[in-house]
Amino acid sequence: MTTFETAEIVAAVERSGKVFAVNYNVRFYSAVLQMRAMVRRGDLGEIIHVNGSYMQDWLMKETDYNWRVLASESGELRAVGDIGTHWLDTVGFILGSPVTELMADLSTYHRTRKRPVGEVRTFSNEAVDGTVDCPVDTEDFASVLLEFANGARGNLAVSQVAAGRKNCIRIEIYGTKQSVWWDSQRPDELTIGRRDAANVHAWRAASGFEDAGGYTDYPAGHAEGFPDGFKMLYRSIYTSIATGKSDGLFADAAAGHEELRLCEAVLQSHRERRWVSV
Ligand SMILES: NC(=O)c1ccc[n+]([C@@H]2O[C@H](COP(=O)([O-])OP(=O)(O)OC[C@H]3O[C@@H](n4cnc5c(N)ncnc54)[C@H](O)[C@@H]3O)[C@@H](O)[C@H]2O)c1
């Protein structure tokens, strides 16, 4: 999609007055909602910088193939478009502040992949009947430097060729009072980092997660993770439809449009090898 198309969606949603949501499920991890509340309340002080990554290894080998590697099928951005946008949406959601400028470097390690002759499902390990060499024109990994409207700086690393990282989102937010960090592969845990006292290691549905109440179902110790975030997201959307009142948490058409603006800026920055305003 392009920002031309997403701008049309934004306008159509406004005309219709209907509820529209984008499937940004990462917003609905309890730890993400907790981090967002802490930042909004000022618990971290002024935000200095944000560090993080979204890493996977399912496209690590040249024999790993999926429709996403072809720009003609999935668009010109792959790792940043497919998974980097989840990180960017989530961090913008937590900070309550959009990216204003960025600089991106995209790299394709496997410029040729072995494409199976038949159809392949995502994350599949099925045997294939032979392959043909296929040129790849989308990025395997990327680095993006960020500046947010609130003055905070950020750096994001994205990769689909990172051995051992299955589906690993890391977000670290550093403020003038304290910091907070989270890893999606340990979804129930949140660390509050301190300079002059011991760090706090908090567990979902227990002390330290009070602000995520209402968006969590199981008692502490019974893990909640990826599927539970979707459940909370859809609960939020359907409640908005049923009651006419939104909790303001799920991504709307404008949020989707914002991600396309970021994607186009990433491509432009990479091609022109410079900082780009969003
Ligand atoms: N959190 C999220 O929002 C999230 C997470 C994962 C995937 N996605 C998105 O969901 C979509 C599907 O991803 P996936 O990982 O399930 O892919 P997938 O490759 O596993 O599945 C795609 C399916 O679409 C079918 N298909 C392809 N072209 C078609 C056509 N023209 N008509 C009908 N069917 C067609 C394929 O046969 C396949 O069954 C993608 O757009 C992806 O970006 C979103």
From residue 72, alpha-carbon distances to 118, 137, 270 in Å are 18, 9, 19
Tell me the chain's radius of gyration from C-alpha atoms: 20
- For residue 229, the SS3 value is helix
Helices (runs of H) and strands (runs of E) counted in the chain: 7, 11
pLDDT in the model for residue 122: 72
Q: pTM (2 decimals)?
A: 0.95
Q: What is the pLDDT of residue 128?
A: 67
Pocket test for ligand 1, best of 28, 121, 260 (most atoms within 8 A of CB): 121
Whole-angstrom distance, CA of residue 102 vs CA of residue 254: 19
Cβ–ligand 1 contact at 23 (below 6 Å)? yes
Q: What atom of ligand 1 comes closest to residue 26's alpha carbon?
A: 1
- Torsion, Cα of 232, 8, 71, 157 (10° steps): -50
Residue 25 beta carbon below 6 angstroms from any ligand 1 atom: yes
The residue contributing the CA closest to ligand 1 atom 41 is 74
- Most distant CA atoms of the chain, gap in Å: 60
Cβ–ligand 1 contact at 124 (below 6 Å): no
Measured from the CA of 23, which atom of ligand 1 is nearest?
3
Q: What is the mean pLDDT of the chain?
A: 96
Please report the atom of ligand 1 found closest to the CA of residue 120: 19
Residue 121 in contact with ligand 1 by CB distance below 6 A: yes
> What is the number of alpha carbons within 13 Å of residue 213 lying toward its C-beta?
5
Provide CB contacts within 8 A for 32, sequence distance 6+.
26, 90, 93, 94, 171, 182
The residue contributing the CA closest to ligand 1 atom 39 is 121
Reading across the β-sheet that carries 179-183, which strands appear in turn? 200-203, 189-193, 179-183, 168-175, 47-55, 153-159, 141-148, 99-107, 276-277
- Structure token digits, residue 103: 């600089």
Among 22, 27, 80, 122, the mutation site with the greatest number of ligand 1 atoms within 8 A of its Cβ is 122
pLDDT in tens, 87-130: 999 999 999 999 999 999 999 999 999 999 877 777 777 666 78
pLDDT in tens, 167-182: 999 999 999 999 999 9
Q: What's the rounded Cα separation, in Å, for the pair 84 and 159?
A: 9
- Output the CA 206–ligand 1 centroid distance in Å: 36
HSE of 235, CA atoms in CB hemisphere, 13 A:
11
Tokens of 35: 């981090």
What is the predicted pLDDT for the residue at 241?
A: 97
Instruction: Report pLDDT digits (tens) over 150-173.
Output: 999 999 999 999 999 999 999 999
- For 64-123, the DSSP string reads ---GGG-HHHH-S-SHIIIIIHHHHHHHHHHHT--EEEEEEEEE-S-SEEEEESS---TT
Give me the amino acid identity at 45.
G
